[in-house]
Amino acid sequence: MPKKKILSYEEATAVFEEERFNGRRIVQCHGTFDLIHPGHIIHLEEARALGDLLVVTVTDETHVNKGPGRPYFNDALRTRTLAALECVDHVVLIPFTAAVEAIRLVKPHIYCKGTEYEESSNDVTGNIHDDLTEVATHGGEVRYIGSVVYSSTRLLNRHFKHIPEPVRTFCEDLASRTSAKQIREAVDAFSDLRILVVGDTIIDQYAYLKVQGLTSKNRIISGRFLDQQTHLGGALAVFRHVKEFTQKVRFSSLLGTEPWVDDLLAEALAESEDATIREPSFRTVVKKRYVEPLLSENEISKLFSVNFLNDEPPSEAVQERILAGLRREMKSCDAVLLADFGHGLMQGKIRALVQEEAPFLVLNCQTNSNNHGFNIITRQYQRADALSLDNQEMMLSCGHRHFDPDQELAAIANSFSARCAWFTRGSVMTHGFAKNSAPVHIPPLVTDVTDTVGAGDAFFSVAGLAAAANLPLDISTFLGQLAGAQAVNIVGNERPISKPALLKGAMSLLHF
């Protein structure tokens, strides 16, 4: 009976244990294998020659983080293509992003990597050290092979239409002037920045319902409760994004003293990072969204929201405590990222202090259902070194429903004496402005969206870091778009964006 080549993750353990028991020397290769080319064939043949059995483990499509449009080929096609090769004995689809779980499954005698990984700095994920440790744990050895090298990403970018043409045009132009290595070095340099994140903390709750229909008497939606998740949002989400890029970050906000707040903060905020003010008279802001469970390849369906907010501004005494803390914090930072959601923290004299004393101010003044028409950036602020607006915020700021995006963005940025500014329009286009620079336009990098909540905050966080590092407008806007592209496939603020995934996305899109 011919052996079964494609194994499920669940059944693979028993197969490999039997092979080891029979004294067979197992060799493992792991990767995405999105487009099989001569380099792959030779790599796999060289690996097979090192043992008795070649196992190829493949990252499943939900865990591939090579950027927009990847993988180009689905799981079934990638595993089937590999299984068709004579040199391959078994193929296993791995439901994890990193390789550690794949190595733990196979426990290879020899684990093969491409020769480019002999220099560990070439691995932007930083996972290679974990891979080597896991191989050694099971008594295996690592071999670097591959006498012929091609790039699946380069071949896909040049010859396949896996990304929209406007995105390809922008990336090809950027790649002609900037290498992926330069992008990586610039992002790595964010770790030198000392950042103070200031703004309103929002606790986001997602209550999942199964909608049963309309009640017979009152004609209101009836739903059966399924589950609830709690996320750290608002300025605290910005803090978590920033922390992925630099550990030199502090967080200043105003929260209540509810006992459950401490446990939530402990998940994300170390004592050395905490510059928050806790005040019994202040209610920690909670936004509870009632949603339907996510359906495959669809945006999450939101039914309605209930917000727990403060009616009155903080007392004068509380504001003085906030002012004292901010004066102290701003003396030892390189930049302030201010996320003003209009929920009580940013009162007049607090706004004035930040504008006066922030060494470099990156500003986002958000419009939402609670503050619509009141928390307008051009009314509340006069100075920023970099700023970001969405469509509603732009319309309220310029006073027009129909406007020229580049013209109005430039006018607002110049009124603030800002070095750079962005106008983000979600699924349409992101516009970038900088003094003495041509406008930058980048279309959305992804079309599949899970949840748009938090995407603007992710863009603001990374583009803001890039502005603080004085990167060119095209690069800072591109990095912000990569952050937003990650965020729209995360439910709410369930987790921060990933620096390794952002870098892999950048390297993939710029590899021509």
**DSSP symbols for 58-83:** EE-TTT--S-TT--SS-HHHHHHHHH
* Domain boundaries defined on the chain: 6-159, 185-509
> Judging by beta carbons within 10 Å of its beta carbon (0-12, 13-18, 19+), is residue 102 exposed, middle or buried?
buried
Would you say residue 230 has pLDDT above 80? Answer: yes
pLDDT at 1: 43
Are the C-beta atoms of residues 55 and 106 closer than 8 Å to each other?
yes
User: What are the backbone dihedrals phi and psi of residue 366, each rounded to the nearest 5 degrees, phi first?
Assistant: -90, 145
Kind and range of the H or E run holding 276: none
Looking up tokens 């580049």 gives: 406
Peptide linkage before 280 cis (omega within 30 of 0): no
Are the C-beta atoms of residues 477 and 463 closer than 8 Å to each other?
yes
Alpha-helical segments (H) within 215-285: 235-243, 259-268
CA distance 512 to 510: 6
Half-sphere exposure of 137 (CA within 13 A, CB side): 13
Q: Tell me the mean pLDDT in the region 172-184.
A: 91
**Chain centroid, CA 10 distance in Å:** 30
Are the C-beta atoms of residues 186 and 469 closer than 8 Å to each other?
yes
Are the C-beta atoms of residues 46 and 146 closer than 8 Å to each other?
yes
Distance separating the N- and C-terminal Cα atoms of the chain:
45
Span 70-124, pLDDT tens digits:
899 999 999 999 999 999 999 999 999 999 999 999 999 999 999 888 876 667 7
Span 302-358, pLDDT tens digits:
899 999 999 899 999 999 999 999 999 999 999 999 999 999 999 999 999 999 999
User: What are the backbone dihedrals phi and psi of residue 386, each rounded to the nearest 5 degrees, phi first?
Assistant: -150, 145
Number of Cβ atoms within 10 Å of the Cβ of 235: 26
Q: If you classify domain 6-159 with CATH, what class do you get?
A: alpha beta
Span 344-387, pLDDT tens digits:
999 999 999 999 999 999 999 998 888 887 899 999 999 999 99
CA distance 138 to 130: 13
Are the C-beta atoms of residues 362 and 238 closer than 8 Å to each other?
no
Query: If you ran DSSP here, which 8-state letter would residue 284 be given?
Result: P
Are the C-beta atoms of residues 273 and 249 closer than 8 Å to each other?
yes
CA distance 459 to 424: 9
pLDDT at 298: 66
Which has more pLDDT, 146 or 411? 411
Q: Architecture of domain 185-509 in CATH?
A: 3-Layer(aba) Sandwich (3.40)
- For the entire predicted model, the pTM comes to 0.89
Query: If you ran DSSP here, which 8-state letter would residue 269 be given?
Result: -
Please report the DSSP string for 400-441 in residue order: -SS--HHHHHHHHHHHTT-SEEEEE-TTS-EEEEETTS--EE
Looking up tokens 């994920």 gives: 125
Q: Tell me the mean pLDDT in the region 172-189.
A: 93
Locate 429 and state its tokens. Answer: 């286009």
If pLDDT is split at 50, 70 and 90, which confidence band does 242 have? Answer: very high
pLDDT at 2: 56
User: What are the backbone dihedrals phi and psi of residue 334, each rounded to the nearest 5 degrees, phi first?
Assistant: -90, -30
CA distance 383 to 356: 8
Span 485-497, pLDDT tens digits:
999 989 999 999 9
User: What are the backbone dihedrals phi and psi of residue 22, each rounded to the nearest 5 degrees, phi first?
Assistant: -80, 5
Q: Phi/psi class of residue 272: alpha, beta or left (left: φ > 0; alpha: ψ in -120 to 50)?
A: alpha
CA distance 477 to 471: 10
pLDDT at 120: 66
Locate 226 and state its tokens. Answer: 């399924």
